C-alpha cells in the first residue's frame, strides 16, 4: 500500500552552502539522499512531497558542518503481510513466478498456485489450467495476497499466494479481451 507519512532526518550541510539559499540546498540534498531508498520499517521512499519543518542547526565541533533536523512529507510504498494487491508477472519458471508491484518484488511459489494449473515450458513459459482457459505468463496481471515479507536494512522482498478466493489472473496478455 502507498502511504503519505511524515518522516524526520538529520541533515548535515557543508558551510559553503550557508547563505540565502540554505533551505533550497537542504531540500535538494534531502531529495537526493532519501528518494529511492528503502528501509524495513518505512518501506520504499517514492517521492518527497513537502518539507514541514527545518529545525535549529547544530554546529559540529571541529568540522564546521551543521546538522539540521528536517521533517518532511513523503509518499512511501510499504507492503504488508495479509495485504491483497495487483501485480505484473515478470518471470515464470518451474519453481513458480515473480511479479512486481511498483518497487517491490513478489515471489509466488508453485505450491501457492492453484493445483489445477500446470507449468508449461517453451518459448513463453507459463502456468495453464488443464482446459487452457487460464494462463499466467510474463506480463500477465495478477491479483495476489502477500503472505510473508523478508525485510533487511535496504530491501524488502515478498512471498505471495494466488491460491485463495478471488485471487489470480486479472488480464492475460495473450488473450484479446
Partner 1 sequence: MSGEPREEEENAAELKIGEEFLKAKCLMNCEVAIILEHKYEQLQHMSSDGGADQVSQVFEKSQGYVKRFSRYKNPDAVRQVRETLSRYSLHEFELCTLGNLCPDTADEARALVPSLVPGGRFQGDERIDKMLNDLSLIKKFE
Binding site for partner 1 (CB under 8 A): 1-5, 35-38, 42, 44-47, 49, 75, 77-78, 80-86, 88, 100-103, 141, 143, 146, 164-166
Nearest distance, CB of residue 5 and partner 1, angstroms: 4
Nearest distance, CB of residue 75 and partner 1, angstroms: 6
Residue number with CB closer to partner 1 (38 or 70) = 38
Residue number with CB closer to partner 1 (21 or 60) = 21
Question: Residues 4, 50: contact at Cβ < 8 Å?
Answer: no
Residue number with CB closer to partner 1 (15 or 36) = 36
Contacts 24+ apart (CB under 8 A), 29-38: 30/70, 30/72, 33/9, 34/7, 34/9, 34/72, 34/74, 35/74, 37/154, 38/103, 38/154, 38/155, 38/156
Cα 169 to Cα 134: distance, rounded to the nearest angstrom: 8
Nearest distance, CB of residue 177 and partner 1, angstroms: 16
Residue number with CB closer to partner 1 (123 or 166) = 166
Give me the residues paired with residue 96 across strands: 93, 109
Residue number with CB closer to partner 1 (99 or 134) = 99
Nearest distance, CB of residue 127 and partner 1, angstroms: 21
Q: Where are the beta strands (DSSP E) in the chain?
A: 2-13, 38-39, 43-54, 58-59, 66-77, 84-93, 96-101, 104-109, 117-120, 126-129, 135-136, 141-152, 155-161, 168-171
Nearest distance, CB of residue 38 and partner 1, angstroms: 7
Amino acid at each position: 500500500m502507498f502511504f503519505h507519512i511524515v518522516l524526520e532526518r538529520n541533515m548535515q550541510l557543508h558551510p559553503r552552502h550557508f547563505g540565502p539559499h540554505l533551505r533550497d540546498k537542504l531540500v535538494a540534498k534531502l531529495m537526493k539522499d532519501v528518494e529511492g531508498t528503502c528501509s524495513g520499517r518505512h518501506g520504499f521512499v517514492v517521492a518527497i512531497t513537502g518539507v514541514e519543518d527545518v529545525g535549529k542547526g547544530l554546529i559540529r565541533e571541529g568540522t564546521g558542518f551543521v546538522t539540521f533536523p528536517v521533517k518532511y512529507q513523503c509518499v512511501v510504498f510499504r507492503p504488508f503481510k495479509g495485504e491483497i494487491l495487483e501485480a505484473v508477472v515478470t518471470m515464470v519458471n518451474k519453481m513458480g513466478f515473480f511479479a512486481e508491484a511498483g518497487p517491490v518484488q513478489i515471489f509466488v511459489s508453485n505450491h501457492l498456485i492453484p493445483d489445477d494449473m500446470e507449468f508449461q515450458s517453451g518459448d513463453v513459459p507459463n502456468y495453464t489450467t488443464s482446459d487452457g482457459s487460464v494462463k499466467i505468463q510474463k506480463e500477465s496481471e495478477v491479483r495476489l495476497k502477500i503472505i510473508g515479507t523478508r525485510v533487511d536494512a535496504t530491501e524488502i522482498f515478498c512471498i505471495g499466494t494466488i491460491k485463495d478466493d478471488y485471487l489470480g489472473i486479472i488480464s492475460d496478455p495473450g488473450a484479446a479481451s
